[in-house]
Structure 1
Amino acid sequence: MTGETDSLLDLKPAISPTYFNDPSTASAGVIANELAHDRDFVETTYGAIDEDLESQEDIDDSDGFAVSKDKLFYICCSVYLGSYLSALDATVVTTLLPVISSDLGALEKSSWIATSYLLSCATFQPLFGKLSDIFGRKPMILLCDTCFVVGCYMCATSTSLIPLVLGRFITGIGGGGISTLSTITMSDLISLRKRGLFQGVANVFYGLGAASGGVIGGLVADHWGWRYVFYLQIPLAFASAAMIYIHLELPEGSAGLGVQGSGIWGKLKQIDYLGSVLLVSGLTGIMCAAAFGGHEIPFQSPVFVALCVISGALLIGFGLVEAYVSPEPVIPVRLLGIRTVLTSSLANWFGTMGLFSVMYYVPLWFSTVLGLSATENGLRTVPNCIITAGASVGAGMYMRMTGKYLAMARITGLLLVIGAVQLWFLKPNVSTWRQYIILSVPGAGYSMMLTVTLLALIASVDVKHQASTTSIQYCFRSTGSTLGVTVASALFQHTLGAKVKSLVAAAAPDALAGAEVVKRALESPDYLKVAPEWAKAPLLESYDAAGHSVFYFSAVILVLGYLCVFFMQESKLHNSVKRT
């Protein structure tokens, strides 16, 4: 670990501070009031390459870091540990739900245990950037570490469902904040050209956390009980906080130091309360619709429709408040007037919608149409994890060596489209080796796209606005994942219902038997294992058609994202943190 990190610190890039991104849909927001009202700034693009750019010399006035390499090593360790914990806690309960729900006698509401963490993580992330600009990076990171520890302790000591769900909610606030603020802080410390490589390594740790969560949760629960899954995370969070407390010293003049010369009440007055409430409320509604739509809340029900309409209205209201009312917007939507900010954000939005649809429904297609077990399904994701980690690091190395990103952005978009289109031709007789690599192409494209478009977005604006623009991109990404899964779920269920009813009715020996099969088949995919022989072929054909409806949708969405990439502009990547 130490050798690897030392190697990273010794690299000689050529660019300025960029944003340390984490795949966990983190958000950041430095609010620049003067930018929100500066029409000239919004109508131009900072740093876009012009005819003379190739001849410009970028003077490296430092080694590309704002702190010493020794301090940066410990800060990176904390960042990587935070990324790992944030991802692990999102998936660690997947294998624990039956055990926890049985122990607490709350089987019917067990989904809230997982949903509460994801809900708070996604909805509160966009707020931490602005708050850290007001109160400072270090205090906010330590506050989030505290939330994480308190939440884990509440989960470990819960004796009923409500305290456990509340604990998971608080843990999600802390976990989302840790990943977000770590990303912002690394952008304060590392130049743009080196930034992509460091982000790639962070993506590896995040991927490890997400992939190992279920395994670690199961092993710990089997040996010591499910409560120790939460207990054991507490010392790790303390270690991460300790490294930040001791080693994080931002340079003088950094936006990460917070508002200077203002007391606590003065800082509290700078918070965009109205915008924050509208944003959190709108995102909460969308997340709830995505999490419970089609299950606890039927898609056709008035509750689901009202939830979507109200959430959409809240988010529209948020946009209007940020654009025309708030003097210190939590997310400055006026920056969308910059071409690369808008197009890179849309590329992330469409890319995330399409990729999440694929990642959710390819495993479901495997388990239903091919009859794979959960273990077999999990093994088929291993190559994807390895390849996407390498691809993310590779994208960072490319930008460090070349100082360019536009060509790479177009390649990543093409990989996403190719990866989705190949699913159109997925057949029940697909070879085993293809099952293992089929997710690797879109996965590699997406992991590189996250790194490349983030750097493109940050490079397109002045350094003091980099966190603000990143907030916009992460909001697009978080809503994209939610909408993608929701639309894909609606398509899948609609196609499945129509196909099952028509195909089963045609093959059923009598109407009563057909009605029973349709009812049970739509309740659970596990029914395929015990369905009558005459019904298995129609049911398999129905699930195959439903899966392909999602694959068609994802391909169309990813093509739209790919088109957005062609409207991005190449901007200069600097060697120095100050972009001199």
Structure 2
Amino acid sequence: MNFSKAAARARARVRMTVRQRRNTAADRSPIGKPGAQTPAEAVAAAAAAVASPPRGAMSPAEIRQIFFGLMLVVFLAALNQTIIATALPTIGRTFHDFENLSWVVTAYLLTSTAVAPLYGKLSDLFGRRTMILVAVGLFMAGSAAAAASPNMMMLIVGRGLQGIGGGGILPVCQSVMADIVAPRERGRYQAYMGVVWVTSSVVGPVFGGVMAEHLHWSIIFWVNVPLALGAAALTHVKLARIPRHDRRHKLDVLGAGLMMASCIPILLALTWGGTQFPWLSVPVLGLIGLSAVLTLLFAWRLNTAQEPFLPLAVLTNPVMRMGTTSASLAMGTSIGLTIVVPMYFEVAHHMSATESGIALIPLAMTTPGSLLSGQAMLYWKHYKRAPMIGLVCALIALGFLIWRPDMGLAYAIVLMGIVGTSIGLVYPVTTVSIQNAVPNHQVGIAMGALNFFRSLASAFIVAVMGAILLAVLGVTVSRGGGHGGSVIESVSTAGPGAALVFRWVFLAAFGFLALSLFFLHFMEERPLRTTVQPADPPVAPPPKR
């Protein structure tokens, strides 16, 4: 055997293998290919990958720990929205200022609505944990400022700062749930979040009234400080393992400013119309016109910006459009009825304020519907059927209330319970469907936009129901319209047929829920993923135009 030839052949095979491996490595490298990363960008991406190493799948125990932290954060925001209502009269008497008392609520509404999309976008850019800590920190600072306020103006400023923090809590928490729980199972966790909202709705007014009456109104704000510190500690530790979606983005500051600015005039118009000023007055029409101009400027910015604040891919997503519209109409109807129905119980059934509040609980108790909706998403292929069946039941219940608004108290409470449970079916399905339909790195802005439009729709529906009630009663602003006591006195003077006045409010609710069912029907029912999408890899910035 010629060993020299065999050795030569072996050396040739080794050299060929080395060349093949080098060629394979070169093919895999993106550097040098058209549209690929430059060497500097490749180094930056590698550094980002090292800074954020891939995380393994989270265990159920870790998910539960994160979820409990999120529940505390959401409870903080939800309690704040209900605890203030019963303390307002005491605050007005303390500062001898009832004229500006409504701004205590309006300041929080304006700022929390305006910043919701911004928090969603920033959480996509800088991470969920960072933005939750920022939101909780600002909320705590606003609570302390409100509690220490020496006058009404400083209290309003503190409430505005509270809203800047509180407006980011819900969209970022929803985005965290999208990062750690698969869409198929996410509805169940969304339902548990609903329990937090219902609990705060029941506990908040009672706690606020007791603190304001027997201790001091400032305690309702001071109590937020330890809660915020506990929530921040939990989220700082537990959210370290959630997936990151680091992408090199440019924040469209002008677009963000236009979107936030456009909502403030319309919210003021909806808040003041029919209460502070007539609907056709110059101030209200001027605010509506200003909002329209700013909205047109925002639309222009969306079409001209290199990277719009609200991505066109999210706006044009059919699931996003239909799901957001359906959820906004359903939740707005729920909030509108929650405001009007206590008057209905007091007038039609001669109940006291406390009794009407207790009778309202079935309407506000949307938790059973949320739990059923979560189970439907877990086990049903056509999960959209659950909220659609629920909305049909709600429409039937409202149909009976339109037909006989003077029916017996027990029947009215049962029908209100059906409406509340049915509306509870809608929000988890629409929220999870939207999260399931958008890329992971856009979930934050999608959730911010969802909460933004839901707040606008709620303000609009409440204004419509209030305007209908005042119009039927013939109450005008100059005659004291817009004040709950004046409305109840005007309805009471209607005699035995006072309950029939609310027929038109129930008819409006019927119309809004019918529209919600219409848009839900046309929302695409995409298969829900059974796994969480992996975090998106770092990418280069979009090429310059």
TM-score normalized by structure 2? Answer: 0.81
Aligned to 2:517: 562
Aligned to 2:424: 447
Residue 409 of structure 1 contacts residue 453 of structure 1 at CA under 8 Å; is this kept in 2?
no
Cα distance, 1:223–1:400 mapped onto 2, change above 3 Å? same
Work out which of the residue numbers 238, 259, 264 in structure 1 matches 2:229: 238
Residue 330 of structure 2 contacts residue 516 of structure 2 at CA under 8 Å; is this kept in 1?
yes
Aligned-pair distance for 1:211?
2.4
Gaps of 5+ in 2: 1-55, 536-545
Amino acid at match of 2:343: L
Work out which of the residue numbers 349, 352, 365 in structure 2 matches 1:370: 349
* Segment drifting more, 468-477 vs 185-194: 468-477
Work out which of the residue numbers 296, 314, 339 in structure 2 matches 1:360: 339
Work out which of the residue numbers 406, 413, 419 in structure 1 matches 2:391: 413
Amino acid at match of 2:138: C
Residue 145 of structure 1 contacts residue 174 of structure 1 at CA under 8 Å; is this kept in 2?
yes
Aligned-pair distance for 1:380?
0.6
Aligned to 1:39: none
Residue 347 of structure 2 contacts residue 488 of structure 2 at CA under 8 Å; is this kept in 1?
no
Work out which of the residue numbers 488, 505, 508 in structure 2 matches 1:553: 508
Aligned to 1:292: 272
Partners of 2:517 and 2:489 in 1: how far apart?
Answer: 43
Residue 496 of structure 1 contacts residue 545 of structure 1 at CA under 8 Å; is this kept in 2?
no
The RMSD of aligned alpha carbons is 2.7
Partners of 1:554 and 1:168 in 2: how far apart?
Answer: 31
Aligned to 2:434: 457
Aligned to 2:321: 342
Residue 347 of structure 1 contacts residue 562 of structure 1 at CA under 8 Å; is this kept in 2?
yes
| Residue correspondence of structure 1 range 6-21 to structure 2 within 5 A | none
Residue 412 of structure 1 contacts residue 446 of structure 1 at CA under 8 Å; is this kept in 2?
yes
Cα distance, 1:490–1:216 mapped onto 2, change above 3 Å? same
Aligned to 2:86: 95
Aligned to 1:58: none
Residue 275 of structure 2 contacts residue 482 of structure 2 at CA under 8 Å; is this kept in 1?
no
Q: Does 1:305 align with 2:278?
A: no
What is the identity percentage for the equivalent residue pairs of Structure 1 and Structure 2? 26
Aligned to 2:5: none
Higher relative contact order (CA 8 A, sep 6+): 1
Aligned-pair distance for 1:544?
3.9
Amino acid at match of 1:113: V
Amino acid at match of 1:191: A
TM-score normalized by structure 1? Answer: 0.77
1:446-479 alpha-carbon deviations (Å, 9 max, x no partner): 1110011222223334444444443443333222
Aligned to 2:12: none
Cα distance, 1:239–1:132 mapped onto 2, change above 3 Å? same
Work out which of the residue numbers 459, 463, 473 in structure 2 matches 1:486: 463
Amino acid at match of 2:403: F
Cα distance, 1:483–1:163 mapped onto 2, change above 3 Å? same
Partners of 1:135 and 1:435 in 2: how far apart?
Answer: 49
Cα distance, 1:426–1:334 mapped onto 2, change above 3 Å? farther
Aligned to 1:496: 473
Secondary structure at the counterpart of residue 249 of structure 1: helix
Residue 356 of structure 1 contacts residue 481 of structure 1 at CA under 8 Å; is this kept in 2?
yes
Q: Does 1:178 align with 2:169?
A: yes
Cα distance, 1:372–1:327 mapped onto 2, change above 3 Å? farther
1:505-561 alpha-carbon deviations (Å, 9 max, x no partner): xxxxxxxxxxxxx98685756468888xxx9653664x5454222222221222122
Amino acid at match of 1:390: P
Amino acid at match of 1:378: G
Residue 104 of structure 1 contacts residue 160 of structure 1 at CA under 8 Å; is this kept in 2?
yes
Work out which of the residue numbers 232, 246, 253 in structure 2 matches 1:273: 253
Partners of 1:282 and 1:528 in 2: how far apart?
Answer: 31
Aligned-pair distance for 1:316?
3.3
Aligned to 1:395: 373
Amino acid at match of 2:395: V
* Segment drifting more, 568-577 vs 221-230: 221-230
Amino acid at match of 2:367: A
Work out which of the residue numbers 494, 505, 512 in structure 2 matches 1:538: 494
Aligned-pair distance for 1:413?
2.8
Residue 417 of structure 1 contacts residue 562 of structure 1 at CA under 8 Å; is this kept in 2?
no
Residue 413 of structure 1 contacts residue 565 of structure 1 at CA under 8 Å; is this kept in 2?
no
Aligned to 1:71: 62
Q: Does 1:126 align with 2:117?
A: yes
Work out which of the residue numbers 195, 216, 228 in structure 1 matches 2:219: 228
Aligned-pair distance for 1:377?
0.9
Residue 171 of structure 2 contacts residue 448 of structure 2 at CA under 8 Å; is this kept in 1?
no
Aligned-pair distance for 1:563?
1.7
Cα distance, 1:558–1:572 mapped onto 2, change above 3 Å? same
Aligned length: 481
Amino acid at match of 1:454: T
Work out which of the residue numbers 435, 439, 455 in structure 1 matches 2:412: 435
1:265-295 alpha-carbon deviations (Å, 9 max, x no partner): xx7xx22212211111121112212222211
Amino acid at match of 1:239: G
Residue 172 of structure 2 contacts residue 444 of structure 2 at CA under 8 Å; is this kept in 1?
no
Partners of 2:130 and 2:529 in 1: how far apart?
Answer: 29
Residue 136 of structure 1 contacts residue 259 of structure 1 at CA under 8 Å; is this kept in 2?
no
Partners of 1:296 and 1:520 in 2: how far apart?
Answer: 11
Cα distance, 1:318–1:521 mapped onto 2, change above 3 Å? closer
Secondary structure at the counterpart of residue 96 of structure 1: helix
Aligned to 2:25: none
Partners of 2:446 and 2:323 in 1: how far apart?
Answer: 10
Aligned-pair distance for 1:172?
1.5
Gaps of 5+ in 1: 1-64, 261-266, 502-517
Aligned to 2:452: 475
Aligned-pair distance for 1:241?
0.3
Cα distance, 1:407–1:89 mapped onto 2, change above 3 Å? same
Cα distance, 1:468–1:118 mapped onto 2, change above 3 Å? closer
Cα distance, 1:458–1:522 mapped onto 2, change above 3 Å? closer
Amino acid at match of 2:433: A
Aligned-pair distance for 1:358?
2.6
* Segment drifting more, 344-353 vs 304-313: 344-353
Partners of 1:547 and 1:125 in 2: how far apart?
Answer: 34
Partners of 1:166 and 1:519 in 2: how far apart?
Answer: 29
Aligned-pair distance for 1:239?
0.4
1:96-119 alpha-carbon deviations (Å, 9 max, x no partner): 111111112212211111221222
Work out which of the residue numbers 383, 403, 416 in structure 2 matches 1:425: 403
Task: State the structure with more CA Rg.
Answer: 2
Partners of 2:487 and 2:290 in 1: how far apart?
Answer: 38
Cα distance, 1:526–1:409 mapped onto 2, change above 3 Å? closer
